[in-house]
Amino acid sequence: MTEAATAEARVSSFRAAERLGRIQPSPSTAAAARVRQLKAEGRRILDLTVGEPDFDTPEHIKQAAIEAIRAGETKYTPVNGTPRLREAIRGSLRRTHGIEYSDAELTVGGGGKQVIFLALMATVNAGDEVLIPAPYWVSYPDMVRANEGTPVIVETSAQNGYKLDADALEAAITDRTTWLVLNSPGNPSGAIHSEADLTALAEVLRRHPQVSVLSDEIYSEISFTGAPAPSLAAVAPDLRHRVLVVSGVSKSYAMTGWRLGYAAGDPALVTAINTLQSQTSSCPSSISQAAAAAALEGSQDFIAESVPVYRERRDAAVAGLQAIDGLTPLVPDGAFYLYVDCAGLIGRTTADGRVLSSDQDVTLYLLDHVGVAVIQGSAYGKSPFFRISFATDIDTIRAAVAEIAAAVEALR
């Protein structure tokens, strides 16, 4: 039998679990993979897809990791992190939000993404509803579905800056609602819920004690308002036991590959998350923990220096895109994304006669026609938009905007 025939005769015994059919691969991960493929084929691609700082991890953080390796800190750690890291997390939360947490209220994982997944795994039963305001980070709905919950998408409006308002929250809550996911600054919108916004949401939440809040604050310190984004746990301290504050070092300290996130919240929930962690990865990387501790407890100059750079890039991208007929970028208060309304391009026709009928058509057109990679807004629950990341150098941003302008100009 030939090798080809042998391969054809081989039958896989793999049987996918039912939960796998409820979720899709991350659109942002898929977009990044497509960009890598095109670059490998020799295409010039201006990549605005990945939410990853182009800065290197600060030297003192890398040095802390090297020193940990040399000191033999290469063993298992406690499930909820080393004592040094826990103290550094407490100090960071105290510095940014003025909140004191105990060890029993802290959990540490392999990135904020893992912490969120484990929190949902620990709490969501079949049929439970999780409220997710749109636009949303692409992974929230699929994480809920993977854990047998029902994601309930709550619409937001341009009039409110695409932030969740109290009336929409009240209308969405049912007796099956267990969680509200609140991401501020938001990905993809960059919107920050102000203290007044959070106070209004807290009033609603007080009437519905069964609803907990997963407050994803991974971009908290990348804020263009002059201060970290406020936290519901600080604005409404009486609700603190119902708020799981999730953060990490990936975005603020350019440490995406170190995979270190953490959360603070109710001790019973934290214990449940730690139990799941003990049965999955046992603990996060000891070396990443040493690096994260150095990031949180050491000089914060990197944040002070990088945020103005992000602001400059934001302003350049906004100015360029606002000048393009048919595009309206939302001006973000934080994070490093622009969510661009492309409704003005829907219905236009390309030079080869194709009609752009969706934001996915727009993104594919930009990629194929001028080599600019962005992500369709439908992946984030709001259309027609596309998202760009300005966590890249300003020359790439300006070149990409110029190419987008040329592509739009070529439409009929």
Convert the pLDDT of each residue in 277-286 to its tens digit.
999 999 999 9
Q: Which residue has the tokens 């709905």?
A: 141
The structural domain count of the chain equals 2
pLDDT value at residue 15: 85
pLDDT-derived band of residue 274, with 50, 70 and 90 as boundaries? very high
Q: Do 263 and 362 fall into the same domain?
A: no
- Region 87-92: mean pLDDT is 98
In a domain, 1, yes or no: no
pLDDT-derived band of residue 175, with 50, 70 and 90 as boundaries? very high
Q: Which residue has the tokens 């906004």?
A: 318
- Region 196-210: mean pLDDT is 98
Domain boundary among 299, 329, 355: 299
pTM recorded for the entire structure: 0.93
Convert the pLDDT of each residue in 304-339 to its tens digit.
999 999 999 999 999 999 999 999 999 999 999 999
- Region 97-123: mean pLDDT is 97
Q: Do 33 and 93 fall into the same domain?
A: no
Q: Do 86 and 219 fall into the same domain?
A: yes
Q: Do 109 and 84 fall into the same domain?
A: yes
Q: Do 203 and 284 fall into the same domain?
A: yes
Position 328, amino acid: T
Convert the pLDDT of each residue in 20-79 to its tens digit.
888 877 776 777 777 888 888 888 899 999 899 999 999 999 999 999 999 999 999 999
Q: What is the CATH number of the domain that holds 220?
A: 3.40.640.10
Q: Do 308 and 235 fall into the same domain?
A: no
pLDDT-derived band of residue 7, with 50, 70 and 90 as boundaries? low
Instruction: Please report, for residues 126, 143, 165, 256, the alpha-carbon distance to residue 149 in angstroms, rounded to integers and kept in the order given.
Output: 5, 9, 23, 28
Q: Do 134 and 263 fall into the same domain?
A: yes
Is the pLDDT at 1 greater than 60? The verdict is no
Q: What is the CATH number of the domain that holds 47?
A: 3.90.1150.10
In a domain, 267, yes or no: yes
In a domain, 57, yes or no: no
Domain boundary among 299, 316, 337: 299
Is the pLDDT at 136 greater than 60? The verdict is yes
Q: Do 251 and 310 fall into the same domain?
A: no
pLDDT value at residue 382: 96
From the CB of residue 366, how many other CB atoms can be counted at a distance below 10 Å? Answer: 24
pLDDT value at residue 8: 53
In a domain, 350, yes or no: yes
Domain boundary among 275, 299, 323: 299
pLDDT > 70 in the chain, percent: 97
> What's the per-residue H, E or C state across the chain?
CCHHHHHHHCCCCCCCCHHHHHCCCCHHHHHHHHHHHHHHCCCCCEECCCCCCCCCCCHHHHHHHHHHHHCCCCCCCCCCCCHHHHHHHHHHHHHHHCCCCCHHHEEEECCHHHHHHHHHHHHCCCCCEEEEECCCCCHHHHHHHHCCCEEEEECCCHHHCCCCCHHHHHHHCCCCEEEEEEECCCCCCCCCCCHHHHHHHHHHHHCCCCCEEEEECCCCCCECCCCCCCCHHHHCHHHHHHEEEEEECCCCCCCHHHCCEEEECCHHHHHHHHHHHHHHCCCCCHHHHHHHHHHHHCCCHHHHHHHHHHHHHHHHHHHHHHCCCCCEECCCCECCEEEEECHHHCCCECCCCCECCCHHHHHHHHHHHHCEECEEHHHHCCCCEEEEECCCCHHHHHHHHHHHHHHHHCCC
pLDDT value at residue 9: 53
pLDDT value at residue 400: 98
Convert the pLDDT of each residue in 342-397 to its tens digit.
999 999 999 999 999 999 999 999 999 999 999 999 999 999 999 999 999 999 99
In a domain, 192, yes or no: yes
Q: Do 116 and 265 fall into the same domain?
A: yes
In a domain, 375, yes or no: yes
Is the pLDDT at 19 greater than 90? The verdict is no
pLDDT value at residue 33: 78
- Domain of 398, in residue numbers: 23-52+302-409
Q: Do 87 and 165 fall into the same domain?
A: yes
Q: Do 38 and 175 fall into the same domain?
A: no
pLDDT value at residue 82: 98
Give ∠ CA 119-125-130 in degrees, rounded to 5. Answer: 65
In a domain, 396, yes or no: yes
In a domain, 10, yes or no: no
Q: Do 42 and 84 fall into the same domain?
A: no
